[in-house]
Amino acid sequence: MVLTHDDANDVLQNTFLKAWKSIGDFQGKSRLYTWLYRIAVNESLDLLRRNASDKKSADADLSVANRLMADEYFDGDRSQALLQEAIATLPDVQRTVFTMRYYDEVKYSEMSKILNTSEGALKASYHIAVKKITDYVKKNQ
């Protein structure tokens, strides 16, 4: 969901800090994995919202693809950067569902527990996201 190595490190650190501080609140109604994943998703979305509202950063005007290509840890080519740029144009829910399904191969049943929504809604969000990504890539190749 996040694009740069530094952002991923921040999300990971914040996820484990929140989990550590609130482990006593974990009720065991879901698997620990599900609980941690939900914290990570929330942290990712929070970071994306903060970055979107932070127009003061020096590279705010750079496209996602350009930022990725400038990241020393990004080892992809232009087409992978274009895919990430297309994903970045999606609304938060569609981006989350697409990332969880496409990259993490999370089953819809597990995703439903993590995101607290129906499997049907998740499937619809995923297919709409795929259509938008396909259209974006075709338009910008």
Residue range 46-76, pLDDT digits in tens:
887 787 665 444 444 445 556 655 666 655 6
What confidence score (pLDDT) does residue 38 get? 87
pTM exceeding 0.85: no
Q: What percent of the chain has pLDDT over 70?
A: 80
Kindly list the distances between the CA atom of residue 118 and the CA atoms of 62, 78, 84, 104, 137, in Å, as whole numbers in the listed order: 36, 35, 26, 19, 29
What confidence score (pLDDT) does residue 61 get? 40
Nearest CA-CA partner of 46 in 2, 88, 4:
2
Length of the chain in residues, anyone? 141
List of the chain residues with pLDDT < 70: 3, 52-77
